[in-house]
Amino acid sequence: MGRIRKRHPSEGSRRAWRGFVRGITLPTSQLPGACAMASIQREIDVDIALRDAWDALRDVGSIHQRLVPGFVADCRMEGRVRVVTFGNGMVVREPILVIDEDRHRVAWAAVGGSFEHYNASVQAFDLGEGRTRLRWIADLLPDSAAPEVEGMIAEGLGVMKRTLEAAG
């Protein structure tokens, strides 16, 4: 499957403008012979060491306090299911699929609501010199929900950046 890369207008080379949320959006229903699933990939660089970013990211029951306050108003764990109340009042049940200590990756699904299918992950990458890249990937059905989800991911990454850098 092909990938489409959106670039910021100021991005003259492969080096991204600092602070810009880079990513890929692929509504596959627009590709000949493809299924109707959207795949969204966004990433942002943060000025915080990997160990500190990962410590907050892996704390899946405290994202409303340590990672995305305001964007997520409340969060509680019911076994391995995270119940998230977003700032807009929407409540989503998110089974945690994996907390991968070696890859610094958390993956979850969303159950119920308007999604036929939703799974996502956030992974942290060490950039050296106290910097980390966060990559959020989401696959969802129906693909018509992609613009709304894409906006939420961009907003969430922005809040993550501000929160992590303020804590660091």
What is the rounded CA–CA span in Å between residue 27 and residue 1?
11
Closest CA to 80 of 44, 121, 108, 52: 108
In the chain, the domains with their CATH numbers are: 22-167 (3.30.530.20)
37-41, 115-119, 131-135: range with highest mean pLDDT: 131-135
pLDDT at 5 > cutoff 60: no
- The string of pLDDT tens digits covering residues 60-78 is 999 999 999 999 999 999 9
Q: What is the mean pLDDT of residues 108-121?
A: 92
Please tell me the pTM assigned to this model.
0.80
